[in-house]
Amino acid sequence: MNEMTFAVLGTGGIGRRALEVSQHKDALTPVAACDRHGVAVDFDGLDVDELLAATEGNIDNEVATDGGTGATAAESGVKQHGERKGVVASSQARPSEDPIQEIIDRGDGIDAVLLALPNYEHDFIPRTADRFAEGGYEGVMIDVLKRSRVIDMLDDRSDQFEEAGITFICGAGATPGLLTGAAALAAQSFVEVTAVDIWWGVGLKSGYEDNRGTVREDIAHLPEYDIETARDLSEAEIEAILDDHDGVIEFEDMEHADDVLLERAGICDAEDVEVGGVLDVRNDEKPTTTTVRVTGRTFDGETATNTFQLGDETSMEANVNGPALGYLKAGVRRNRAGEYGVFGPAELMPGF
Ligand code: IKT
């Protein structure tokens, strides 16, 4: 009964690391993985080492131009140089015209689906969720999306998820995700929360090469860019932006779903939440300590700030994928208890 199975949609940076981290989680078995060209399914459990070796070996850092997704070849598993890339390189996988449909069709044996799909159009994840609901999937769906506006699109589908028996957990990576949950805990000392300040630091421990999709998404947060213009940047243009910043980019006042997720959990107003941080693409050390500050008023009239920090040695990969799988486990417990609809990371305590 405690055993849980999951599928991962996307075998780029997040998908691969999620598979890797899952090997360290109790009672959690990856049974399916897909990207845009293929699918691997094994209800006895995927051979993660083989799949990782095969997909890792397929990293090709050219940006996919098809579909305008802006995803890296590695993340999208796009076909290049006449060869199939991504998951299809694994001996467990086979090509598919519609890999997502294949996962939906086998949904009976899958407790949770992790959507590890980077950089697509804003409504890509909501539309993918629609397909699962319409296809009769009953289980958990979980994403690590970041943009505030996508949460509303998922909330609009709450009734549909409830009818279908889907427990959808949104924004369950690092920020939003772990840091949103930490803010919700830190808020408990207060009767009124006046400010939540999330300040992250990321050094690309696994290297820029492996994180091009993330870097592109981050560039979209700079004032001069948006999702569309960042998607259209060539690799050379991205390199030039990074050079202009000496590899260290600071972000302020980012559109991050921590704000709406804290508001929907009743913690504070969305406008009182600020998210920013520093990304160093050339150094594996964090340029600043990831910190959450929650300021509020206590019942007995004091004003104070509760602070939560991540260890500087923890990588972004650890801080995204550990929580994502922890929230996934929490979601499966909710789903098995008959709780359906949309949940954010401030409403759940992740499982270990
Ligand atoms: C973002 O996606 O907007 C920023 C991301 C920051 C992740 C925070 C991780 C915190 C930590 O590991 O200390 C990422 C840089 N894209």
* DSSP letter, residue 46: -
Q: Which domains does the chain have, with CATH numbers?
A: 4-175+317-343 (3.40.50.720), 178-313 (no CATH)
Distance 175 CA to ligand 1 centre (A): 6
Q: Which atom of ligand 1 is nearest to the CA of 201?
A: 13
Question: Which is higher by pLDDT, 73 or 140?
Answer: 140
Question: What's the N-to-C CA distance of the chain in angstroms?
Answer: 16
Judged against a pLDDT cut of 90, whether residue 74 lies above it is answered with: no
Judged against a pLDDT cut of 80, whether residue 31 lies above it is answered with: yes
What Cα–Cα distance (Å) separates residue 249 from each residue in 61, 200, 215?
21, 12, 10
Average pLDDT over every residue of 136-143: 98
8-12, 122-126, 214-218, 304-308: which has the highest mean pLDDT? Answer: 304-308
For 351, phi and psi rounded to 5 degrees? -85, 160
Q: Is 257 in the pocket of ligand 1 (CB under 6 A)?
A: no
Judged against a pLDDT cut of 60, whether residue 80 lies above it is answered with: no
Q: What span, in angstroms and rounded, lies between the C-alpha atoms of 166 and 270?
A: 26
Judged against a pLDDT cut of 70, whether residue 82 lies above it is answered with: no
Binding-site annotation: residue ranges for NAD(+): 10-14, 213-214
Instruction: Choose the weakest-confidence range: 56-65, 115-124, 269-278.
Output: 56-65
Q: Would you state the pLDDT for residue 154?
A: 94
Q: Would you state the pLDDT for residue 85?
A: 73
ipTM score of complex:
0.97
Distance 316 CA to ligand 1 centre (A): 6
Instruction: Choose the weakest-confidence range: 124-128, 175-179, 333-337.
Output: 124-128
Q: Would you state the pLDDT for residue 66?
A: 29
DSSP-assigned beta bridge partners for residue 72: 63
* Positive/negative CA dihedral, 329, 18, 322, 273: negative
Judged against a pLDDT cut of 80, whether residue 121 lies above it is answered with: no
Distance 199 CA to ligand 1 centre (A): 9
Q: Is 119 in the pocket of ligand 1 (CB under 6 A)?
A: no
Question: Which is higher by pLDDT, 248 or 66?
Answer: 248
Question: Which is higher by pLDDT, 77 or 296?
Answer: 296
Q: What span, in angstroms and rounded, lies between the C-alpha atoms of 153 and 125?
A: 9
Q: Would you state the pLDDT for residue 119?
A: 59
Judged against a pLDDT cut of 60, whether residue 334 lies above it is answered with: yes
Q: Would you state the pLDDT for residue 37?
A: 87
Question: Which is higher by pLDDT, 251 or 214?
Answer: 251
Q: Where are the alpha helices (DSSP H) in the chain?
A: 13-22, 48-56, 73-76, 99-105, 124-134, 148-155, 158-164, 178-186, 212-219, 227-232, 235-244, 258-264, 316-336
| 3-state SS assignment for residue 105 | helix
Q: Would you state the pLDDT for residue 242?
A: 92
Known catalytic residue at 146: yes
Distance 171 CA to ligand 1 centre (A): 12
* Positive/negative CA dihedral, 262, 150, 331, 274: negative
Q: Is 216 in the pocket of ligand 1 (CB under 6 A)?
A: no
Q: Would you state the pLDDT for residue 58?
A: 64
For 264, phi and psi rounded to 5 degrees? -70, -20
Q: Quote the mean pLDDT of the chain.
A: 90
Q: Is 316 in the pocket of ligand 1 (CB under 6 A)?
A: yes
Q: Nearest residue CA, atom 4 of ligand 1?
A: 218
Q: Would you state the pLDDT for residue 61?
A: 32
The number of residues making up the chain comes to: 352
Q: Which of 37, 85, 221, 286 is catalytic?
A: 221
pTM of the prediction? 0.91
Describe the chain by its helix, strand, coil percentages, rounded to 5.
Answer: 40, 20, 40
- For residue 93, what are its two tokens? 């996988």
- For residue 88, what are its two tokens? 């299809």
DSSP-assigned beta bridge partners for residue 63: 72
Q: Would you state the pLDDT for residue 231?
A: 86
Average pLDDT over every residue of 205-209: 64
